[in-house]
A and B are shown apart, each in its own frame.
Chain A
Amino acid sequence: MSAKSRTEKPAKGSATALSLKSLSAYYGSFRAVKDVSLEVAAQSVTALIGPSGCGKSTLIRTINRMHETTTGARVEGTIEIEGVDIYDPQIDPVRVRRSIGMVFQKPNPFPTMSIAQNVVSGLRLAGQTNKAALAAIVEDSLRKAALWDEVKDKLNQPGTSLSGGQQQRLCIARAIAVKPEIILMDEPCSALDPIATLKIEELIRTLREEYTIVIVTHNMQQASRVSDTTAFMTMGEDRAGYLVESGPTPKMFTAPEQRLTEDYVAGRFG
Protein backbone atom coordinates (compact mmCIF):
# COMPACT_ATOMS: atom_id res chain seq x y z
CA MET A 1 0.00 0.00 0.00
CA SER A 2 2.82 2.33 0.76
CA ALA A 3 4.38 1.53 -2.56
CA LYS A 4 1.07 2.31 -4.23
CA SER A 5 0.70 5.70 -2.56
CA ARG A 6 4.23 6.48 -3.61
CA THR A 7 3.48 5.83 -7.21
CA GLU A 8 0.31 7.90 -7.03
CA LYS A 9 2.25 10.84 -5.71
CA PRO A 10 1.79 13.79 -8.08
CA ALA A 11 4.74 15.31 -9.86
CA LYS A 12 4.89 18.34 -7.54
CA GLY A 13 7.17 16.22 -5.36
CA SER A 14 9.91 16.93 -7.80
CA ALA A 15 10.41 20.51 -6.59
CA THR A 16 13.39 20.84 -4.28
CA ALA A 17 12.51 21.90 -0.72
CA LEU A 18 15.93 21.74 0.76
CA SER A 19 19.42 21.40 -0.55
CA LEU A 20 22.47 20.66 1.56
CA LYS A 21 25.76 21.63 -0.06
CA SER A 22 29.06 20.26 1.26
CA LEU A 23 27.79 20.41 4.80
CA SER A 24 30.11 19.57 7.69
CA ALA A 25 29.17 19.69 11.37
CA TYR A 26 31.62 19.96 14.25
CA TYR A 27 31.58 19.52 18.01
CA GLY A 28 34.55 21.62 19.04
CA SER A 29 37.39 20.25 16.91
CA PHE A 30 35.67 16.91 16.23
CA ARG A 31 34.07 16.68 12.83
CA ALA A 32 30.90 14.59 13.26
CA VAL A 33 29.52 15.01 9.74
CA LYS A 34 31.73 15.43 6.68
CA ASP A 35 30.87 17.07 3.41
CA VAL A 36 27.27 16.00 2.89
CA SER A 37 25.43 17.19 -0.20
CA LEU A 38 21.80 16.18 -0.51
CA GLU A 39 18.66 17.39 -2.25
CA VAL A 40 15.33 16.88 -0.54
CA ALA A 41 12.21 16.96 -2.70
CA ALA A 42 9.18 18.93 -1.52
CA GLN A 43 6.24 16.96 -0.11
CA SER A 44 8.17 13.78 0.17
CA VAL A 45 9.56 11.66 2.97
CA THR A 46 13.33 11.32 3.09
CA ALA A 47 14.80 8.75 5.43
CA LEU A 48 18.32 8.98 6.82
CA ILE A 49 19.65 5.54 7.68
CA GLY A 50 22.99 4.25 8.84
CA PRO A 51 24.78 2.59 11.76
CA SER A 52 24.60 4.26 15.17
CA GLY A 53 27.08 7.06 15.70
CA CYS A 54 27.32 7.88 11.98
CA GLY A 55 26.04 11.43 12.46
CA LYS A 56 22.41 11.04 11.26
CA SER A 57 21.04 12.92 14.27
CA THR A 58 23.72 15.58 14.01
CA LEU A 59 22.95 16.06 10.33
CA ILE A 60 19.20 16.44 10.86
CA ARG A 61 19.83 18.93 13.66
CA THR A 62 21.80 21.17 11.33
CA ILE A 63 18.73 21.55 9.10
CA ASN A 64 16.79 23.65 11.63
CA ARG A 65 19.90 25.11 13.25
CA MET A 66 19.44 23.12 16.45
CA HIS A 67 22.98 21.80 16.15
CA GLU A 68 24.46 25.13 17.17
CA THR A 69 22.52 25.17 20.47
CA THR A 70 25.07 22.65 21.80
CA THR A 71 28.10 24.37 23.33
CA GLY A 72 31.03 24.38 20.93
CA ALA A 73 29.03 23.09 17.97
CA ARG A 74 29.33 24.72 14.55
CA VAL A 75 28.56 24.09 10.90
CA GLU A 76 30.39 24.60 7.59
CA GLY A 77 28.77 24.55 4.15
CA THR A 78 25.29 25.72 3.21
CA ILE A 79 21.69 24.62 3.45
CA GLU A 80 19.43 26.32 0.97
CA ILE A 81 15.68 26.69 1.15
CA GLU A 82 14.18 28.26 -1.99
CA GLY A 83 17.59 29.58 -2.83
CA VAL A 84 18.22 31.19 0.58
CA ASP A 85 21.13 29.94 2.68
CA ILE A 86 19.75 29.46 6.19
CA TYR A 87 23.25 29.89 7.58
CA ASP A 88 23.54 33.36 6.07
CA PRO A 89 24.40 35.84 8.86
CA GLN A 90 21.27 37.82 7.93
CA ILE A 91 19.04 34.88 8.86
CA ASP A 92 17.45 34.54 12.26
CA PRO A 93 17.73 30.94 13.54
CA VAL A 94 14.54 31.41 15.56
CA ARG A 95 12.62 32.03 12.32
CA VAL A 96 14.30 29.07 10.66
CA ARG A 97 13.05 26.85 13.45
CA ARG A 98 9.54 28.26 13.15
CA SER A 99 9.51 27.13 9.50
CA ILE A 100 11.18 23.79 10.13
CA GLY A 101 9.51 21.79 12.88
CA MET A 102 11.19 18.99 14.78
CA VAL A 103 10.07 15.86 16.60
CA PHE A 104 12.54 14.22 18.97
CA GLN A 105 13.41 10.66 19.99
CA LYS A 106 11.71 10.84 23.34
CA PRO A 107 8.27 12.43 23.47
CA ASN A 108 8.75 15.69 25.39
CA PRO A 109 5.46 17.48 26.03
CA PHE A 110 5.83 20.47 28.36
CA PRO A 111 4.94 19.12 31.81
CA THR A 112 3.48 22.38 33.08
CA MET A 113 0.98 22.63 30.23
CA SER A 114 -2.28 20.94 29.33
CA ILE A 115 -2.76 19.08 26.07
CA ALA A 116 -4.30 22.13 24.40
CA GLN A 117 -1.66 24.49 25.79
CA ASN A 118 1.06 22.18 24.53
CA VAL A 119 -0.31 22.30 21.01
CA VAL A 120 -0.34 26.08 20.80
CA SER A 121 2.69 26.69 23.01
CA GLY A 122 4.87 27.78 20.08
CA LEU A 123 2.27 30.25 18.86
CA ARG A 124 1.50 31.66 22.29
CA LEU A 125 5.14 32.18 23.05
CA ALA A 126 5.46 33.94 19.72
CA GLY A 127 2.79 36.36 20.90
CA GLN A 128 -0.45 35.05 19.40
CA THR A 129 -3.29 35.63 21.88
CA ASN A 130 -6.55 35.34 19.95
CA LYS A 131 -8.37 32.64 21.91
CA ALA A 132 -10.80 31.59 19.19
CA ALA A 133 -8.06 31.31 16.60
CA LEU A 134 -5.89 29.31 19.01
CA ALA A 135 -8.77 26.94 19.83
CA ALA A 136 -9.29 26.33 16.11
CA ILE A 137 -5.60 25.61 15.68
CA VAL A 138 -5.69 23.16 18.61
CA GLU A 139 -8.40 21.13 16.92
CA ASP A 140 -6.91 21.38 13.46
CA SER A 141 -3.42 20.35 14.59
CA LEU A 142 -4.66 17.49 16.74
CA ARG A 143 -6.77 16.21 13.85
CA LYS A 144 -3.80 16.33 11.51
CA ALA A 145 -1.77 14.45 14.11
CA ALA A 146 -4.56 11.81 14.33
CA LEU A 147 -4.96 12.47 18.04
CA TRP A 148 -8.12 14.58 18.19
CA ASP A 149 -10.59 11.74 18.75
CA GLU A 150 -8.56 10.35 21.61
CA VAL A 151 -8.10 13.61 23.51
CA LYS A 152 -10.97 15.91 22.55
CA ASP A 153 -12.70 15.36 25.90
CA LYS A 154 -9.62 15.96 28.02
CA LEU A 155 -7.88 18.90 26.40
CA ASN A 156 -7.27 20.48 29.79
CA GLN A 157 -5.43 17.53 31.26
CA PRO A 158 -1.65 17.64 31.42
CA GLY A 159 0.15 16.53 28.26
CA THR A 160 2.22 14.16 30.36
CA SER A 161 -0.92 12.16 31.30
CA LEU A 162 -1.03 10.59 27.82
CA SER A 163 0.59 7.33 26.78
CA GLY A 164 4.00 7.41 25.08
CA GLY A 165 2.60 7.08 21.57
CA GLN A 166 -0.05 9.72 22.23
CA GLN A 167 2.58 12.04 23.69
CA GLN A 168 4.64 11.69 20.52
CA ARG A 169 1.60 12.50 18.36
CA LEU A 170 0.98 15.48 20.66
CA CYS A 171 4.54 16.61 19.94
CA ILE A 172 3.83 16.25 16.23
CA ALA A 173 0.66 18.32 16.65
CA ARG A 174 2.72 20.91 18.52
CA ALA A 175 5.19 21.07 15.66
CA ILE A 176 2.39 21.32 13.06
CA ALA A 177 0.67 24.15 14.93
CA VAL A 178 3.38 26.68 14.09
CA LYS A 179 2.70 25.92 10.40
CA PRO A 180 6.11 24.75 9.28
CA GLU A 181 6.85 23.70 5.72
CA ILE A 182 9.34 21.05 6.72
CA ILE A 183 9.16 18.59 9.62
CA LEU A 184 12.26 16.84 10.93
CA MET A 185 11.87 13.62 12.90
CA ASP A 186 14.80 12.24 14.87
CA GLU A 187 14.04 8.54 15.47
CA PRO A 188 10.49 9.44 16.52
CA CYS A 189 9.50 5.85 17.29
CA SER A 190 12.57 4.63 19.14
CA ALA A 191 10.87 5.02 22.52
CA LEU A 192 7.53 3.55 21.42
CA ASP A 193 5.96 0.10 21.30
CA PRO A 194 5.16 -1.55 17.91
CA ILE A 195 1.50 -0.52 17.86
CA ALA A 196 2.25 3.11 18.67
CA THR A 197 5.01 2.96 16.05
CA LEU A 198 2.57 1.82 13.37
CA LYS A 199 0.26 4.73 14.19
CA ILE A 200 3.10 7.22 13.82
CA GLU A 201 4.14 5.65 10.53
CA GLU A 202 0.60 5.94 9.19
CA LEU A 203 0.59 9.54 10.31
CA ILE A 204 3.87 10.26 8.52
CA ARG A 205 2.41 8.96 5.28
CA THR A 206 -0.61 11.29 5.64
CA LEU A 207 1.47 14.29 6.63
CA ARG A 208 3.52 13.87 3.49
CA GLU A 209 0.61 15.28 1.47
CA GLU A 210 1.23 18.66 3.05
CA TYR A 211 4.75 18.71 4.45
CA THR A 212 8.28 17.86 3.50
CA ILE A 213 9.52 15.29 5.99
CA VAL A 214 13.04 14.20 6.85
CA ILE A 215 13.20 11.27 9.23
CA VAL A 216 16.17 9.67 10.95
CA THR A 217 15.63 6.01 11.70
CA HIS A 218 17.74 3.08 12.74
CA ASN A 219 15.00 0.75 11.59
CA MET A 220 15.37 -0.21 7.93
CA GLN A 221 11.88 -1.69 7.68
CA GLN A 222 10.56 1.62 8.87
CA ALA A 223 12.59 3.47 6.26
CA SER A 224 11.28 1.20 3.53
CA ARG A 225 7.69 1.56 4.78
CA VAL A 226 7.48 5.33 5.09
CA SER A 227 10.03 6.98 2.84
CA ASP A 228 10.17 7.99 -0.81
CA THR A 229 13.88 8.68 -0.78
CA THR A 230 16.52 7.04 1.36
CA ALA A 231 19.94 8.46 2.18
CA PHE A 232 22.53 6.10 3.62
CA MET A 233 25.27 7.43 5.90
CA THR A 234 28.16 5.71 7.56
CA MET A 235 31.36 6.83 9.21
CA GLY A 236 34.87 6.83 7.91
CA GLU A 237 38.21 6.07 9.52
CA ASP A 238 38.22 9.50 11.19
CA ARG A 239 34.82 8.73 12.83
CA ALA A 240 33.25 11.48 10.76
CA GLY A 241 29.92 10.51 9.22
CA TYR A 242 29.51 10.90 5.46
CA LEU A 243 26.81 10.26 2.91
CA VAL A 244 27.40 7.07 0.93
CA GLU A 245 24.52 7.47 -1.49
CA SER A 246 20.90 8.47 -1.75
CA GLY A 247 18.14 7.52 -4.10
CA PRO A 248 14.54 6.33 -4.44
CA THR A 249 13.79 4.01 -1.54
CA PRO A 250 12.86 0.87 -3.56
CA LYS A 251 16.07 1.15 -5.51
CA MET A 252 18.16 1.71 -2.39
CA PHE A 253 16.79 -1.45 -0.83
CA THR A 254 16.97 -3.66 -3.90
CA ALA A 255 19.70 -2.40 -6.19
CA PRO A 256 21.93 0.17 -4.50
CA GLU A 257 24.93 1.42 -6.41
CA GLN A 258 27.43 1.12 -3.59
CA ARG A 259 28.63 -2.12 -2.08
CA LEU A 260 28.55 -0.55 1.44
CA THR A 261 24.85 0.23 1.11
CA GLU A 262 24.11 -3.24 -0.11
CA ASP A 263 25.92 -4.79 2.87
CA TYR A 264 24.11 -2.50 5.29
CA VAL A 265 20.58 -3.05 3.98
CA ALA A 266 21.27 -6.78 3.85
CA GLY A 267 22.17 -6.63 7.55
CA ARG A 268 25.81 -7.58 7.04
CA PHE A 269 27.07 -4.72 9.21
CA GLY A 270 25.82 -1.86 11.43
Chain B
Amino acid sequence: MSGRVGASHPFALSARDLRRRRLNRMMRLVIAATTALAILPLVGITVLIVSNGVGRLTPEFLFNGPLGSPPGIVNAIQGSLAMTFVATLISAPIGIAGGVYLNEYASPRVTALGEYLIDVMLGVPSILAGLFAYLAIVPLLGFSGWSATIALSVLMIPVVMRTTQEVMRLVPAGLREASLALGVSSWKTSVFIVGRTAFSGILTGVVLAISRGLGETAPLLMTALGSNDEAINLGAPMSAMPIVIYNNAGSSDPQMVAEAWTTALVLFAIALVLNVAVRFKTVNSRIA
Protein backbone atom coordinates (compact mmCIF):
# COMPACT_ATOMS: atom_id res chain seq x y z
CA MET B 1 0.00 0.00 0.00
CA SER B 2 2.72 2.44 0.96
CA GLY B 3 3.83 4.16 -2.17
CA ARG B 4 7.09 5.95 -2.84
CA VAL B 5 7.29 9.43 -1.46
CA GLY B 6 7.05 11.79 -4.37
CA ALA B 7 9.31 14.77 -4.82
CA SER B 8 6.49 17.08 -3.82
CA HIS B 9 5.80 15.23 -0.56
CA PRO B 10 6.72 17.29 2.51
CA PHE B 11 9.01 14.49 3.82
CA ALA B 12 10.87 14.10 0.53
CA LEU B 13 14.61 14.75 0.47
CA SER B 14 15.65 17.81 -1.47
CA ALA B 15 18.97 18.04 -3.27
CA ARG B 16 20.25 20.14 -0.39
CA ASP B 17 19.28 17.46 2.12
CA LEU B 18 21.13 14.90 0.08
CA ARG B 19 24.24 17.09 0.14
CA ARG B 20 23.96 17.46 3.89
CA ARG B 21 23.66 13.72 4.25
CA ARG B 22 26.72 13.15 2.12
CA LEU B 23 28.69 15.67 4.15
CA ASN B 24 27.58 13.94 7.32
CA ARG B 25 28.71 10.55 6.05
CA MET B 26 32.02 12.01 4.94
CA MET B 27 32.70 13.69 8.28
CA ARG B 28 31.89 10.44 10.07
CA LEU B 29 34.55 8.77 7.99
CA VAL B 30 37.06 11.57 8.55
CA ILE B 31 36.53 11.48 12.30
CA ALA B 32 36.80 7.70 12.45
CA ALA B 33 39.96 7.81 10.33
CA THR B 34 41.51 10.49 12.56
CA THR B 35 40.74 8.39 15.58
CA ALA B 36 42.48 5.47 13.94
CA LEU B 37 45.45 7.76 13.28
CA ALA B 38 45.52 8.77 16.95
CA ILE B 39 45.26 5.18 18.14
CA LEU B 40 47.75 3.68 15.69
CA PRO B 41 51.01 4.87 17.29
CA LEU B 42 49.63 3.91 20.67
CA VAL B 43 49.02 0.37 19.48
CA GLY B 44 52.41 0.41 17.75
CA ILE B 45 54.27 1.35 20.92
CA THR B 46 52.48 -1.27 22.94
CA VAL B 47 53.16 -4.01 20.42
CA LEU B 48 56.82 -3.05 20.03
CA ILE B 49 57.50 -2.88 23.75
CA VAL B 50 56.12 -6.38 24.13
CA SER B 51 57.72 -7.90 21.02
CA ASN B 52 61.14 -6.30 21.58
CA GLY B 53 61.17 -6.88 25.28
CA VAL B 54 59.69 -10.30 25.82
CA GLY B 55 62.65 -12.24 24.40
CA ARG B 56 65.01 -11.38 27.23
CA LEU B 57 62.41 -11.46 29.96
CA THR B 58 63.84 -14.30 32.03
CA PRO B 59 64.00 -14.87 35.78
CA GLU B 60 67.74 -14.18 35.58
CA PHE B 61 67.10 -10.79 34.01
CA LEU B 62 64.70 -9.91 36.80
CA PHE B 63 66.74 -11.28 39.68
CA ASN B 64 70.39 -10.81 38.67
CA GLY B 65 72.40 -7.69 39.25
CA PRO B 66 73.92 -5.68 36.40
CA LEU B 67 77.30 -7.38 36.92
CA GLY B 68 75.89 -10.90 37.11
CA SER B 69 75.93 -13.39 34.31
CA PRO B 70 73.67 -13.01 32.56
CA PRO B 71 73.27 -9.39 33.68
CA GLY B 72 69.92 -8.34 35.11
CA ILE B 73 68.13 -5.35 36.52
CA VAL B 74 67.27 -6.43 40.06
CA ASN B 75 68.96 -3.34 41.50
CA ALA B 76 67.02 -1.05 39.16
CA ILE B 77 63.71 -2.70 40.14
CA GLN B 78 64.61 -2.47 43.82
CA GLY B 79 65.73 1.13 43.42
CA SER B 80 62.56 2.17 41.59
CA LEU B 81 60.35 0.47 44.17
CA ALA B 82 62.31 1.74 47.19
CA MET B 83 62.47 5.37 46.05
CA THR B 84 58.85 5.45 44.92
CA PHE B 85 57.79 3.79 48.17
CA VAL B 86 59.51 6.39 50.31
CA ALA B 87 58.24 9.21 48.11
CA THR B 88 54.72 7.80 48.56
CA LEU B 89 55.20 7.74 52.33
CA ILE B 90 56.01 11.46 52.13
CA SER B 91 53.50 12.59 49.52
CA ALA B 92 50.42 10.50 50.37
CA PRO B 93 49.94 11.89 53.91
CA ILE B 94 50.68 15.47 52.83
CA GLY B 95 48.50 15.18 49.73
CA ILE B 96 45.57 13.50 51.47
CA ALA B 97 45.66 15.80 54.50
CA GLY B 98 45.92 18.87 52.26
CA GLY B 99 43.06 17.71 50.05
CA VAL B 100 40.87 17.05 53.09
CA TYR B 101 41.71 20.47 54.51
CA LEU B 102 40.87 22.29 51.30
CA ASN B 103 37.56 20.47 50.97
CA GLU B 104 36.40 20.28 54.58
CA TYR B 105 37.85 23.19 56.52
CA ALA B 106 39.33 25.93 54.39
CA SER B 107 37.43 29.15 53.73
CA PRO B 108 36.44 29.67 50.08
CA ARG B 109 39.38 32.01 49.59
CA VAL B 110 41.91 29.61 51.01
CA THR B 111 40.36 26.81 48.94
CA ALA B 112 40.76 28.87 45.75
CA LEU B 113 44.38 29.64 46.66
CA GLY B 114 45.03 26.01 47.50
CA GLU B 115 43.54 24.87 44.20
CA TYR B 116 45.77 27.30 42.39
CA LEU B 117 48.77 25.98 44.34
CA ILE B 118 47.87 22.48 43.15
CA ASP B 119 47.50 23.65 39.55
CA VAL B 120 50.91 25.30 39.58
CA MET B 121 52.56 22.29 41.22
CA LEU B 122 50.93 19.93 38.72
CA GLY B 123 52.33 22.10 35.96
CA VAL B 124 55.92 22.08 37.29
CA PRO B 125 57.91 20.15 34.68
CA SER B 126 59.74 17.20 36.17
CA ILE B 127 63.08 18.60 35.02
CA LEU B 128 62.56 21.51 37.42
CA ALA B 129 61.86 19.18 40.32
CA GLY B 130 65.15 17.51 39.40
CA LEU B 131 66.95 20.83 39.10
CA PHE B 132 65.66 21.88 42.51
CA ALA B 133 66.80 18.66 44.14
CA TYR B 134 70.16 18.81 42.35
CA LEU B 135 70.84 22.37 43.47
CA ALA B 136 69.35 22.34 46.96
CA ILE B 137 69.15 18.76 48.23
CA VAL B 138 72.11 16.96 46.67
CA PRO B 139 74.61 19.29 48.41
CA LEU B 140 73.03 18.20 51.71
CA LEU B 141 72.25 14.53 51.17
CA GLY B 142 74.57 13.69 48.26
CA PHE B 143 73.62 11.80 45.11
CA SER B 144 71.30 9.36 46.82
CA GLY B 145 67.93 7.73 46.97
CA TRP B 146 66.88 10.25 49.62
CA SER B 147 67.54 13.19 47.29
CA ALA B 148 65.53 11.44 44.58
CA THR B 149 62.56 10.86 46.89
CA ILE B 150 62.36 14.59 47.58
CA ALA B 151 62.37 15.40 43.85
CA LEU B 152 59.66 12.76 43.31
CA SER B 153 57.57 14.12 46.20
CA VAL B 154 57.41 17.54 44.53
CA LEU B 155 55.74 15.81 41.58
CA MET B 156 53.56 13.36 43.52
CA ILE B 157 52.05 15.55 46.25
CA PRO B 158 49.84 17.63 43.91
CA VAL B 159 48.50 14.48 42.20
CA VAL B 160 47.31 13.05 45.52
CA MET B 161 46.01 16.39 46.76
CA ARG B 162 44.03 17.11 43.62
CA THR B 163 42.42 13.68 43.48
CA THR B 164 41.60 13.69 47.19
CA GLN B 165 39.96 17.08 46.98
CA GLU B 166 37.95 16.17 43.90
CA VAL B 167 36.61 12.87 45.17
CA MET B 168 35.75 14.34 48.55
CA ARG B 169 33.81 17.08 46.82
CA LEU B 170 31.72 14.38 45.13
CA VAL B 171 30.55 13.06 48.50
CA PRO B 172 26.98 14.33 48.92
CA ALA B 173 26.73 17.12 51.49
CA GLY B 174 23.80 15.24 53.04
CA LEU B 175 26.12 12.58 54.43
CA ARG B 176 28.26 15.15 56.22
CA GLU B 177 25.12 16.80 57.62
CA ALA B 178 23.64 13.50 58.71
CA SER B 179 26.81 12.67 60.58
CA LEU B 180 27.13 16.08 62.26
CA ALA B 181 23.46 15.90 63.21
CA LEU B 182 24.12 12.58 64.96
CA GLY B 183 26.51 14.44 67.24
CA VAL B 184 29.65 13.13 65.58
CA SER B 185 32.56 15.54 65.90
CA SER B 186 33.75 17.25 62.76
CA TRP B 187 37.09 15.46 62.47
CA LYS B 188 35.43 12.08 62.88
CA THR B 189 32.88 13.10 60.25
CA SER B 190 35.72 14.07 57.89
CA VAL B 191 37.60 10.82 58.39
CA PHE B 192 34.98 8.13 59.02
CA ILE B 193 32.07 9.40 56.93
CA VAL B 194 33.34 11.66 54.13
CA GLY B 195 36.83 10.12 53.95
CA ARG B 196 35.48 6.57 54.17
CA THR B 197 32.99 7.24 51.38
CA ALA B 198 35.69 8.77 49.18
CA PHE B 199 38.27 6.14 50.16
CA SER B 200 38.56 4.30 46.87
CA GLY B 201 38.86 7.59 45.02
CA ILE B 202 41.62 8.75 47.34
CA LEU B 203 43.38 5.42 46.82
CA THR B 204 43.14 6.06 43.09
CA GLY B 205 44.99 9.33 43.56
CA VAL B 206 47.75 7.60 45.50
CA VAL B 207 48.12 4.93 42.82
CA LEU B 208 48.22 7.60 40.09
CA ALA B 209 50.99 9.34 42.00
CA ILE B 210 52.90 6.08 42.41
CA SER B 211 52.61 5.42 38.71
CA ARG B 212 53.92 8.92 37.98
CA GLY B 213 56.82 8.45 40.40
CA LEU B 214 57.81 5.10 38.90
CA GLY B 215 58.08 6.54 35.40
CA GLU B 216 60.02 9.74 36.11
CA THR B 217 63.47 9.83 34.60
CA ALA B 218 65.05 13.29 34.55
CA PRO B 219 64.76 13.95 38.29
CA LEU B 220 66.31 10.57 39.05
CA LEU B 221 69.22 11.09 36.67
CA MET B 222 70.02 14.31 38.50
CA THR B 223 69.73 12.90 42.02
CA ALA B 224 69.97 9.11 42.29
CA LEU B 225 72.47 9.05 39.42
CA GLY B 226 72.40 5.29 38.83
CA SER B 227 74.53 2.56 40.33
CA ASN B 228 75.57 -1.06 39.92
CA ASP B 229 75.23 -1.70 43.62
CA GLU B 230 72.67 -4.35 44.52
CA ALA B 231 72.19 -3.28 48.13
CA ILE B 232 69.07 -1.26 48.93
CA ASN B 233 70.71 1.81 50.38
CA LEU B 234 68.84 5.08 50.05
CA GLY B 235 71.86 6.94 51.40
CA ALA B 236 73.93 6.16 48.29
CA PRO B 237 73.47 6.53 44.53
CA MET B 238 70.79 4.12 43.35
CA SER B 239 69.68 2.66 40.09
CA ALA B 240 66.13 2.78 38.79
CA MET B 241 64.37 1.30 35.76
CA PRO B 242 64.00 4.63 33.90
CA ILE B 243 67.73 5.31 34.42
CA VAL B 244 68.63 1.93 32.89
CA ILE B 245 66.34 2.54 29.91
CA TYR B 246 67.75 6.01 29.33
CA ASN B 247 71.38 5.00 29.64
CA ASN B 248 70.99 1.98 27.37
CA ALA B 249 68.66 3.51 24.80
CA GLY B 250 71.33 5.39 22.89
CA SER B 251 73.95 2.67 23.12
CA SER B 252 75.58 1.30 19.98
CA ASP B 253 75.69 -2.15 21.57
CA PRO B 254 72.52 -4.05 20.48
CA GLN B 255 72.70 -6.08 23.71
CA MET B 256 72.35 -2.90 25.75
CA VAL B 257 69.46 -1.66 23.61
CA ALA B 258 67.73 -5.00 24.03
CA GLU B 259 68.10 -4.67 27.79
CA ALA B 260 66.50 -1.24 27.57
CA TRP B 261 63.48 -2.74 25.77
CA THR B 262 63.06 -5.49 28.30
CA THR B 263 63.34 -3.02 31.18
CA ALA B 264 60.73 -0.88 29.40
CA LEU B 265 58.47 -3.93 29.23
CA VAL B 266 58.81 -4.48 32.98
CA LEU B 267 58.10 -0.81 33.69
CA PHE B 268 55.16 -0.83 31.27
CA ALA B 269 53.74 -3.96 32.89
CA ILE B 270 53.88 -2.33 36.31
CA ALA B 271 52.21 0.84 34.96
CA LEU B 272 49.54 -1.34 33.33
CA VAL B 273 48.83 -3.30 36.51
CA LEU B 274 48.54 -0.07 38.53
CA ASN B 275 46.17 1.46 35.97
CA VAL B 276 43.99 -1.60 35.75
CA ALA B 277 43.87 -1.72 39.54
CA VAL B 278 42.81 1.93 39.65
CA ARG B 279 40.18 1.39 37.00
CA PHE B 280 38.80 -1.63 38.79
CA LYS B 281 38.65 0.30 42.05
CA THR B 282 36.99 3.28 40.39
CA VAL B 283 34.34 1.15 38.72
CA ASN B 284 33.53 -0.42 42.06
CA SER B 285 33.55 2.85 43.88
CA ARG B 286 30.16 3.93 45.07
CA ILE B 287 30.57 7.55 44.18
CA ALA B 288 32.93 7.81 41.24
Chain A in direct contact with chain B (Cβ < 8 angstroms): yes
Binding site for B on A (CB under 8 A): 64, 66, 69, 71, 94-99, 101-102, 104, 106, 108, 110-112, 121-122, 125-126, 160, 171, 174-175, 178
Return the 4 tightest CB-CB contacts between A and B, nearest first.
A98-B183, A122-B182, A102-B181, A108-B174
Given the known inter-chain contacts A71-B107, A125-B188, please indicate yes or no for A112 contacting B181, CB distance below 8 A: no
Within 8 Å by CB of B183, from A69, A71, A104, A122, lies A122
* B54 on the A face (CB < 8 A): no
Q: Which residues of B contact A96 (CB under 8 A)?
A: 183
B185, A101: Cβ atoms under 8 Å? no
A121, B108: Cβ atoms under 8 Å? no
Q: Which residues of B contact A66 (CB under 8 A)?
A: 177, 180-181
Give the number of chain B interface residues (Cβ < 8 Å).
Answer: 24
B179, A175: Cβ atoms under 8 Å? no
Q: Which residues of B contact A126 (CB under 8 A)?
A: 183-184
The stretch that binds A, out of B44-52, B68-76, B192-200, B235-243, is B192-200
A64, B184: Cβ atoms under 8 Å? no
Within 8 Å by CB of B193, from A101, A110, A178, lies A110
Q: A174 CA to B175 CA in the complex, in Å?
A: 13
Binding site for A on B (CB under 8 A): 107-108, 172, 174-175, 177-186, 188-189, 192-193, 196-197, 199, 286-287
Within 8 Å by CB of B182, from A112, A160, A175, lies A175
Query: Chain B: which residue is nearest A180 at the CB level?
Result: B183
Given the known inter-chain contacts A111-B197, A112-B197, A112-B286, please indicate yes or no for A106 contacting B174, CB distance below 8 A: yes
Query: Chain A: which residue is nearest B193 at the CB level?
Result: A110
Within 8 Å by CB of B286, from A98, A111, A175, lies A111
B181, A110: Cβ atoms under 8 Å? no
Q: Which residues of A contact B197 (CB under 8 A)?
A: 110-112
Given the known inter-chain contacts A110-B175, A111-B286, A111-B287, please indicate yes or no for A99 contacting B193, CB distance below 8 A: no
Q: Closest CB-CB distance, B288 to chain A, in whole Å?
A: 12
Within 8 Å by CB of B181, from A71, A101, A106, A125, lies A101
Given the known inter-chain contacts A94-B185, A97-B183, please indicate yes or no for A104 contacting B178, CB distance below 8 A: yes
Q: A110 CA to B184 CA in the complex, in Å?
A: 13
Q: A171 CA to B107 CA in the complex, in Å?
A: 30
The 11 listed contacts between A and B (C-beta, < 8 Å) are A94-B186, A96-B183, A97-B181, A102-B181, A106-B174, A108-B172, A108-B177, A108-B178, A112-B197, A121-B182, A121-B184
